């Protein structure tokens, strides 16, 4: 590890901290005294550290080095079958008052939760190394960035955080002697015995992920999965950052960011929110089929947005890497992602090939022979079981993406012209809807529903409300979150700020036989073109009770060879279906009481328009 001076204290080997930050030092000492690791190591983020940690993990069997001729400097990890996704049922918002967490979050009194973690962490790192990972969310040195420090006993987390964030000594230099940082503590816990698989990571059956909004702290125990253990990602960048955004007047959102340039050379930036495994990464790296149009990637998952001095809303991508779902990603669906995954990657719970490469469903039309599945056993194509776990993941530096925009890590961020929201809806929701105004757009996003996916606990395919794709990630009362969006709009209108247009999209409409009506993937660029045309005050639209819809010509459907009636189904509003939809919307909004009057007003307006229709 990095050659810092060593000291012996209470039989623990501790690397002397390379920082004058007294508060940081005292906190590290406090956690180490309770967790009792054999060593404490401060991570510097260097290539030498990466090489040493990866070699150590290969020796212990928790990593496999992939064939360097096929994927240079890349590795494979396999998890326990009990540790393959976010555990929403074990994720808590420990605000001082239960009402501040709201009905959609799990709440435990922070005093009780601190006692729980004190017991869990008592000696939990014995026999292991405690790593101190200083990290920066957002471009280094940007006023929009936030510094965190994660304590972890998982070298897998250290390597993944190096990809997903900016880590190490440069972060400590920015932090200085008294800078603010978010405190993040993680342990895999007392490991379970490994199963029959020859490669697995440690975890524990008891899992807790807790957020303390008032003190800006995150504690995680028992899981090694990225969404539960990489505490800079969903935990800081959304749950804690959303509270900071509420308090400071900005937005921390579960959104991709893309740059779109039309054939005339005019560029716009769009942010878009979709629930996990609903195509965010594919849209973030889309290669348009439209001649002369170009889409570049700024970020694939999270956007922090603040108003700039020119009155426009600017977004930064706080992450430095992509943590994407592998199954379904292939040359036909996301060529840019495939070209990104050639080196410096960590793959988790995919299948392994006989040649020492990774494979998953959707990577090729036919699986190669001799596969080892994600559980570590020889895969039988006749078993009916997938070779890769449905939530198998890749972690890769964003800078490697061939479609990465030059502005992707601009300290000031990029100006947002439009906001898109969408989920998996087999019925009711048209291909695209433009909101009448900001509050109507908030209403559409607030009532967004999506079919469940393998990225989280719960029944796959079951429809659930997921406002703004933030249901699992909002760090405070969801009704206050919706009210915050309405306040942002009201404040902008009062001081002449320029608000982005808001759209709802749905790539997943199906016919009565369960077949997708829209080809999706690269053809989604046709909808993006219409969005940009609407931003520039062009593009044909028809006003309906639920919003402005594009015409088939505005989308350019004539050359798609769609079956008869498909265009009409994609771009029409069934009044009776939407009367029922509105009825469910009202029941859902009633759960928020009178905390969001602007949305109640939008509900009344929708019902009036449907009645007139």
Q: Would the annotation count 521 as a binding residue? A: yes
**CB–CB of 78/348 below 8 Å?**
yes
**CB–CB of 556/443 below 8 Å?**
no
| Contacts (Cβ under 8 Å, ≥6 apart) of 604 | none
Report the C-alpha gap between 355 and 199 in whole angstroms. 17
Report the C-alpha gap between 360 and 372 in whole angstroms. 11
Report the C-alpha gap between 210 and 118 in whole angstroms. 13
Q: Given pLDDT bands bounded at 50, 70 and 90, which one contains residue 7? A: very low
Report the C-alpha gap between 260 and 207 in whole angstroms. 42
Question: What residues act catalytically?
Answer: 278
* Rounded average pLDDT over 423-449: 96
Q: Would the annotation count 280 as a binding residue? A: yes
Note the pLDDT tens digit of each residue in 141-193.
999 999 999 999 999 999 999 999 999 999 999 999 999 999 999 999 976 54
Parse the chain into domains and list their residue ranges. 6-61+87-249, 252-321+405-612
* Architecture category of domain 6-61+87-249 in CATH: 3-Layer(aba) Sandwich (3.40)
Q: Given pLDDT bands bounded at 50, 70 and 90, which one contains residue 493? A: confident
Chain mean pLDDT for the chain: 92
Share of the chain above pLDDT 70, in %: 94
Please give the DSSP secondary-structure letter assigned to residue 400: G
How many CB atoms lie under 10 A from the CB of residue 78?
27
Q: Which residue reads 């999965």 in tokens?
A: 225
Beta-ladder partners of 294:
261
Q: Would the annotation count 282 as a binding residue? A: yes
| Contacts (Cβ under 8 Å, ≥6 apart) of 152 | 130, 131, 133, 158, 185, 186, 187, 229
Q: Given pLDDT bands bounded at 50, 70 and 90, which one contains residue 357? A: very high
**CB–CB of 612/546 below 8 Å?**
no
Q: Would the annotation count 523 as a binding residue? A: yes
* Rounded average pLDDT over 535-542: 95
Q: What are the percentages of helix, strand and coil residues in the chain, rounded to 5?
A: 30, 25, 45
Q: Would the annotation count 393 as a binding residue? A: yes
Q: Given pLDDT bands bounded at 50, 70 and 90, which one contains residue 232? A: very high
Q: Would the annotation count 279 as a binding residue? A: yes
Asked whether residue 444 carries a pLDDT value surpassing 70, the answer given is yes
Cα torsion 568, 572, 578, 582 to 10°: value is 140
Q: Which residue reads 């999706």 in tokens?
A: 520
Q: Of the candidates 478, 482, 486, 479, which has an alpha carbon nearest to the alpha carbon of residue 438?
A: 486
- Please give the sequence-ordered ranges of beta strands (E in DSSP) within 336-491, or none if there are none: 346-348, 351-352, 358-359, 393-397, 414-422, 432-434, 449-451, 463-465
Q: Would the annotation count 451 as a binding residue? A: no
Report the C-alpha gap between 282 and 297 in whole angstroms. 10
**CB–CB of 239/93 below 8 Å?**
yes
Burial of 130 (0-12, 13-18, 19+ CB in 10 A): buried
Q: Which pLDDT value is given to residue 570?
A: 97
**CB–CB of 349/361 below 8 Å?**
no
How many CB atoms lie under 10 A from the CB of residue 256?
26
Note the pLDDT tens digit of each residue in 300-356.
999 999 999 999 999 999 999 999 999 999 999 999 999 999 999 999 999 999 999
Here the tokens at position 171 are: 């972060």
Q: Which residue reads 């014995």 in tokens?
A: 126
Q: What angle do CA 57, 59, 62 make, to 5 degrees?
A: 40
Q: Would the annotation count 441 as a binding residue? A: no
Here the tokens at position 253 are: 């959102």
Report the C-alpha gap between 257 and 318 in whole angstroms. 11
Q: Which pLDDT value is given to residue 73?
A: 98
| Contacts (Cβ under 8 Å, ≥6 apart) of 486 | 438, 439, 442, 596, 598, 599
Residue 10's H or E segment, with its range, is none
Residue 316's SS3 state is strand
Q: Which pLDDT value is given to residue 535?
A: 97
Tell the CATH topology of 252-321+405-612.
Phosphoenolpyruvate Carboxykinase; domain 3 (3.90.228)
Q: Which residue reads 């990464």 in tokens?
A: 281
Q: Would the annotation count 524 as a binding residue? A: yes
């Amino acid at each position: 590890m990095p050659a810092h001076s060593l000291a012996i204290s209470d039989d623990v080997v501790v690397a002397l901290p390379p920082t004058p930050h007294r508060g940081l030092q005292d906190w590290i000492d406090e956690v180490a005294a309770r967790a009792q690791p054999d060593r404490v190591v401060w991570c510097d983020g260097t290539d030498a550290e990466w090489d040493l940690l990866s070699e150590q993990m290969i020796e212990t069997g928790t990593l496999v080095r992939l064939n360097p001729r096929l994927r240079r400097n890349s590795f494979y990890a396999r998890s326990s079958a009990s540790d393959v996704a976010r555990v929403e049922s074990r994720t808590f918002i420990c605000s001082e008052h239960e009402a501040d967490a709201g009905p959609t979050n799990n709440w435990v009194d922070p005093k009780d939760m601190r006692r729980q973690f004190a017991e869990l962490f008592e000696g939990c790192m014995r026999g292991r190394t405690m790593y101190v990972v200083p990290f920066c969310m957002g471009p280094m040195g940007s006023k929009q960035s936030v510094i965190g420090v994660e304590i972890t006993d998982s070298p897998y987390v250290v390597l993944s955080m190096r990809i997903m964030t900016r880590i190490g000594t440069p972060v400590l230099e920015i932090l200085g002697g008294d800078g603010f940082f978010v405190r993040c503590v993680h342990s895999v816990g007392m490991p379970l015995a490994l199963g029959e698989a020859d490669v697995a990571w440690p975890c524990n059956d008891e899992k807790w992920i807790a957020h303390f909004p008032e003190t800006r702290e995150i504690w995680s125990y028992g899981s090694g999965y990225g969404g539960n253990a990489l505490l800079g990602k969903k935990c800081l960048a959304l749950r804690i950052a959303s509270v900071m955004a509420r308090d400071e007047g900005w937005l921390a959102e579960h959104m991709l960011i893309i740059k779109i340039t039309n054939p005339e050379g005019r560029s716009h930036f769009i942010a878009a929110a979709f629930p996990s495994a609903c195509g965010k990464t594919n849209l973030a790296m889309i290669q348009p089929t439209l001649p002369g149009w170009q889409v570049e990637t700024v970020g694939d998952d999270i956007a922090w947005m603040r108003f700039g001095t020119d009155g426009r809303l600017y977004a930064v991508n706080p992450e430095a890497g992509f943590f994407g779902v592998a199954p379904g990603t292939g040359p036909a669906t996301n060529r840019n992602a495939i070209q990104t995954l050639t080196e410096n990657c960590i793959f988790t719970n995919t299948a392994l090939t006989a040649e020492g490469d990774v494979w998953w469903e959707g990577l090729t039309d036919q699986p190669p022979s001799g596969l080892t599945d994600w559980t570590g056993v020889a895969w039988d194509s006749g078993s009916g079981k997938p070779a890769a776990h449905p939530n198998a993941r890749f972690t890769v530096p964003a800078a490697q993406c061939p479609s990465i925009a030059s502005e992707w890590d601009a300290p000031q961020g990029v100006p947002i012209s439009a906001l898109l929201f969408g989920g998996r809806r087999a019925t009711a929701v048209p291909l695209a809807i433009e909101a009448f105004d900001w509050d109507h757009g908030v209403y559409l996003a607030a009532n967004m529903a999506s079919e469940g996916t393998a990225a989280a606990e719960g029944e796959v395919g079951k429809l659930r409300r997921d406002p703004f794709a933030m249901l699992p990630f909002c760090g405070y009362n969801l009704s206050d979150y919706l009210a915050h969006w309405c306040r942002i709009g009201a404040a902008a209108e009062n001081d002449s700020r320029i608000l982005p247009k808001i759209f709802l999209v749905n790539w997943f409409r199906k016919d009565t036989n369960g077949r997708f009506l829209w080809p999706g993937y690269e053809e989604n660029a046709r909808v993006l073109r219409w969005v940009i045309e609407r931003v520039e005050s062009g593009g044909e639209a028809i006003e309906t009770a639920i919003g402005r819809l594009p015409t088939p010509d505005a989308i350019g459907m004539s050359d798609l060879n769609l079956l008869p009636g498909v265009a009409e189904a994609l771009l029409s509003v069934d009044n009776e279906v939407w009367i029922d939809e509105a009825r469910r919307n009202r029941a859902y909004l009633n759960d928020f009481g009178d905390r969001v009057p602007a949305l109640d007003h939008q509900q009344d307006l929708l019902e009036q328009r449907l009645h007139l229709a």
